[in-house]
Every structure is written in C-alpha cells, then in structure tokens.
Chain A
Amino acid sequence: MELIVALIPLLPFAGFVITLLLGKWVLGKRADVIPVLMATASWVLSMYVFVRVVADPEYVFDWNAFTWISSGALETTWGFYIDPLAAIMLLVVGTIGMVVHYYSIGYMKGDEGYYRFFAYLNLFMFAMFILVMANNYLLMFLAWEGVGLCSYLLIGFWFRKKSASQAGKKAFLVNRVGDFGFMLGMLLMFLTFGSLQFTEVFADVGAAGPAALLGICLLLFTGAVGKSAQFPLHVWLPDAMEGPTPVSALIHAATMVNAGVYMVARSYPLYIDSHTAMYVVMGVGTFTAIYAALIALTQNDIKRVIAYSTVSSLGFMFMALGSGAWVAGIFYLLTHGFFKGLLFLGSGAVIHAMSGQQDMRFMGGLRRKLPITYWTMMVGALAMVGIFPFAGFWAKDEIIGFEFTHHLYYIWVVGLITAFITGIYMFRLMFMTFHGQNRSSPGVQEHIHESRPIMTVPLIILAIPAALAGVLAGWPPESGWIHRFLHPVFFDIESEPFGIVAFILLLVSLVIGAAGITVAWYLYLQRPELPGRLAARFPRAYGASLNKFYMDEIYEAAVIRPVIGFAGWLWTFVDTRVIDGAVNGLAWLWGRFGRLLRPLQTGRAQSYALGILVGVVVLIVVFRIVEG
C-alpha cells in the first residue's frame, strides 16, 4: 500500500520532469505519450486505493514517509492519509485528470507548446494528488501552492496573448490573499495545538478555546475562499478562462477549485466545534451561489457562463458544509466534478468547431453538426440544473432539502432561486449554442465539424458518471451509499430516513429547475426577441449582471488605485525626496566643509614652511610644559 500511495503522485512527477527536459528536442510531437501513460497509471493506482477503501470504509491509512522539517517543537513529515474523503477526491482527480489528458491530445494538437502543456498537466496531477493525500496541513499547503503554480502556468499558457498572461497574474495574486490567511491559520493552529498533523490536531480539538478555534477556522476558510473562488475573491476564476479549455475543465472546474471545499471538509472536527465559523462558511457560500448565478445569466462567452456556474456550484458546496450537510456537500463535489468537467470539455469541442469563437451570440444550430457534443453536454446541463435522474439532481436536492428540514428557510429560498436561475442560464447556453440558426460568418460555418474521437470519447466517458454517479451513490436520498461511506469521516452526522417531507422538497426543487429550463426555452427559442427587450427595459439590472456587479471596478477603485497611488507616493516623495535627499544632503555637507578648509591650501611653499615652523614651536612649548 505504501508503494502504491507513493507512486500515485510520483509517476506524474516523473512524467513532468522527463517531458519538460526532453519534450522540446527529443519527444516533439510524441511528447504526449509519457504524460498520458503516467496519468493513466496514476488513475489505475488511485482506483485501486479507492476500491480498497470502499471495501472497508473504516480502513485508515496513515503513513509518514519521511521527516520533512524538524525544528524545535515543529515536526513535519511527508505523510499520506487515506480515508473515505481522500478516496473520493482520488476518484475525482484521478478520473478527470486522466480523461483530460486524453482529450488534450486532440485539443492541443499542433500547438507550439505541446510538450510544455503536458508537462504542466503532469505537474498539476502530482501536486493535486499530494494535496488530497497529505496527512498534515503544511504538506497540504505545499501542494496547495503547487496547484496554484500550475494554475498560473496553464492560465498563462498562451503567454504571448496579453490577456492570458494578465489573467495568470491575477489568479496568482488573488490566490495569494487567500493563501496568506491559510498560512496565518496554520500559525495559529500550531500555537494552539503544537502540531499540524491532522490526527494530532483533531484529537486535541477540545483543548482549544472557542476564540482560537474560531480564528483558525476563519483563517483557513480565507484560504478556501481564495482557492475555491468564493466572494469576494472569486474574480480570478472567470478570467482564468483565458487558459486552454482542458485546463479549465481539469483545474478550474473539477479539481483544484475543489481544494478549498476539500480542506474545509477535512477540517470537519475543527468546524463542527465552532458554529460561528460554520455560519460564516454558509453565509459566504450562499451569497456566492446566487451572486455568481446572477452574473452567469447575462454573460456571452460560453466558457465564462460555465465559469460563473462553477463559482455558483462551489458556493453551493460551502453552503452545504456550513449548514451541516457535510456529506451532501462532498456528494455535490463528486458529481459536480464529473458534469462540470464534461461541460467544459464539451464547450472546448464547440470552440474547436467554431474556429476559436467563444461568443455564444455567434453560435447557434450546432445540434445537427455536433451530435455527440450536443448530447453529452445536454447530460451535463441536465445534471447541473438538477433534473431527475442525472447526477446533480441527487446531490443538489439533498443540499436544498437539508436547508428546509433544518429550518434554515432563508438559505432554502436562496438555494431554490439559485437553482431556478441555474436552469435559465444553463439552458440559455444550450439553446444559444446548439439550437436556432447559426449566426457565425460563412467562412467559420464551413469548418464546423464534430471533433475527432480522441476528444469525443472523453466526453462520452464523462457523460456516464455525470448521468449515473448520483443515483449510484445517492440512492436512497439522505441515506445512500455515500452517507454510509463517508460516515467515518463525518462521524457526528446522523443520516435521516427519507420521508414524505423530503419527497415533497425533492419535487419542489425538481419543479423549480424544470421551470428555469422552461423560461430559458420560452425566452431563447420561442420569443428570441424578448431577452433584448428585457435588457432594454431593465438597463440597470442588466448592466450590473453583465459587468459582474462591477466587482473588478470596485477592486480597481478600492485596492489597485490606492496601491498604485501609494507606490507613486513612495517613489516621488520617499525615494526621491527622503532617501535621495539624505544621500545628496550628506554629499553637499562634505562639499561645504571642504570649501571651508580650502583657503588653507594656498599653493605657496612659504606659507607651508611657516606652518611647519609654528608647529615645531608649538611642539617645543608643549613638551616643555609636559616635561616640566
């Protein structure tokens, strides 16, 4: 088991090193072989681990491979911890990682950075595997930064494009804000518990004061807010869509952005003892869910719509975790990984077919020309909206139902509204892309074609779990397999039997989702002129949504401008006046002093001789006095 666990991250790392070193000159067009093989092997191994844990959910694997840092009381190891939660993450990361590797062979074909792309993908797999298997916070943080680095590298993959390199920087900087919170959280945790190992910290939760616990939880959550793109640090994720689409699917939908959710779920023993922290998690998640959904409603870039739906879904997960529906939150993470990865890969196929066009206003009518993409994306969209019996239905309705049965009615209402909006924007995307008439130029229309099997097969593979994962893991609702499976992790949660109330709630959210789809159908297929009229009728609301509630502008005014202004002040005042002033002033002082002494240097030998004589006389007199 040790060897397998060690190999899961090490294989992609080896693939990364080999591909990066040899890719450009030796491997060339075959640079994909090693990384894809490594990803496949890692998938096989992680599936083995998953099955091993499924066979015995009480099984806990805790292995310290070697000591990493030993400094005073701090003892940190490269250690791995496998329990049902880590196993679920391994399933998501391994499967989607492998599928995306295969898909990339087709999508990135002919790109000049082909080898670089695969090397980075493998590096990402390495970091992500470490992240989900780490047995202490510090190693987790290392991997956390590692996936952040890969995210930066891959967002800015086409670095010659200004907007792409800018988006990479933005993602990195915004994430740093969150990571700083994570670091402070670890510091406080170490001060409180004297350890960063999961098992030691969690065993000792009772010893911490409520204030320290709240501080730790909130600081850790700051890290999660950055990584999982929650309000107000969500601004980087939509811009991250500048990266190649497989990256959006892998990193910015299915795996890395889940790291924050995973970390909060991993810290379950801490959060469960700090209800204030859980309220904060719930509040931020709920707000983000509806906020991002409202923005997704008016975006025209197909990837941006899906990106905002990702932000909204992550909000849903935090809403679930914060309100106490831990299992449902992780269940949603699992299903969301599959159907959101599927939606992104599908959108990649659409963009490919449209010769790089991402604006949905120039799409339409692709249904007949891209049948596989259409039907697989339809599965993904139905799963996203939460329509029976697709994956999202089971998880999402469990979350929304939980809010009602636990008397969190406001959250329940917001959740329902979000589900309704999700139906509208998701099917707005489907209808604008695949239905109606094609609105692109004739030159582009000629080239519209279904992608090669290397891209469509991954879509079909992902469509299977997107359709079935929910019913397999979630039946019967509220006490399905996943509840039993995760019970050792979320030990305090009692699953409840599925009653009549739950059934009605389930019907309500199903109807709400279907209503959203109907509205989208009415607006975008029946009366296509209506959305424009609505936008004209409510220009304020439309503008706010289209411009993402001016969040970037607010940051510009509240953070970027003051920082630049402060930097300018440092330059024009502190640097040129104070520092240069001090240096120049000192030089000026010595100059003045020198000018004062200058007359002594007459250049006449006789005056020097007089000086010598006077000196001798003075010396003689002095010696006379001293000697007596």
Chain B
Amino acid sequence: MNAVEWYFVLAALLFCIGAYGVLARRNLIIVVMSLELMLNAVNLALVAVANFVPAAAGRGTLFVLFVITIAAAEVTVGLAIIIANYRNRRTVQADEYHDMKG
C-alpha cells in the first residue's frame, strides 16, 4: 500500500467518526465539534495529496488554509446560533428542535 493511502484511510476514519457524531449525537456543541472533525479529515487528505502528488503541490495547502479560515468563521456563527437558541429554549439538545415537523 502506498504511503499516501494510509493518510487517506486515516482521513476516512476521521470523516466517518465526524459524520457519526453529526448524525447521532444530540448535544449541539458535540455536533459542531464533530463537524470540525469532518472538516479536518478533509484537510488531512488535502495536505497528504499536496505532499505526495507533485502536480498538486501548493494548491492543496492553499485549499486547506481556506477551509481552516472558513471553519473558524463557521464555528463562530454556529456557536452563536446555539447560544441564541439556548436562551430561548433552555436546551442544546438537537432532537428538541422539531418545530418544522410536517
């Protein structure tokens, strides 16, 4: 197995853990944390490609920087929404927000 593939396997594992956290956990803080995990899994894959594939050198790191920046902003907004919601509903449990049920 190629060296880069080990990175992919790790990235995939991290992504799956993150996805599981987003889908299964009820606490919104943990959901946001899991989301970060998914983003970072992608970051890991991108950095690995940048390092091992000559044609992608430079461009992979550039993407990663973008993702990190946007992730920071996203977390800020996400946490702010969670806090605002907590003030209204006194809960951060995702399954208690189901006002849009059909």
Contacts and interface: CB of A to CB of B under 8 A. Distances in A.
The main secondary structure of chain A at its interface with chain B is: helix
Interface stretch (B39-47, B65-73, B90-98): B90-98
A605 B97 contact: yes
B101 A602 contact: yes
Given A609-B23, A610-B23, A603 B99 contact: yes
A603 B98 contact: yes
A591 interface: no
A602 B22 contact: no
B31, B95, B100, B102, most chain A CB atoms within 10 A: B102
Contacts of B97: 603-605
Contact of B23 (A599, A600, A601, A606): A606
B83 interface: no
A478 to B, nearest CB: 98
B12 interface: no
Interface residues of A, number: 12
Contacts of B95: 604, 606
Contacts of B22: 606, 609
Given A609-B22, A609-B23, A610-B23, A601 B94 contact: no
A613 B23 contact: yes
B19 interface: yes
Contacts of A598: 102
A276 to B, nearest CB: 77
B19 A600 contact: no
Contacts of A600: 102
A371 to B, nearest CB: 96
Contacts of A613: 19, 23
A62 B22 CA distance: 99
A150 B69 CA distance: 90
A597 to B, nearest CB: 8
A610 B19 CA distance: 9
Interface of A: 598-606, 609-610, 613
Given A603-B100, A609-B23, 19 more contacts: A599-B102, A600-B102, A601-B101, A601-B102, A602-B98, A602-B101, A603-B98, A603-B99, A603-B101, A603-B102, A604-B94, A604-B95, A604-B98, A605-B94, A606-B22, A606-B24, A606-B31, A606-B95, A610-B23
7 contacts: A598-B102, A599-B102, A603-B98, A603-B100, A604-B95, A606-B24, A609-B23
Interface of B: 19, 22-24, 31, 94-95, 97-102
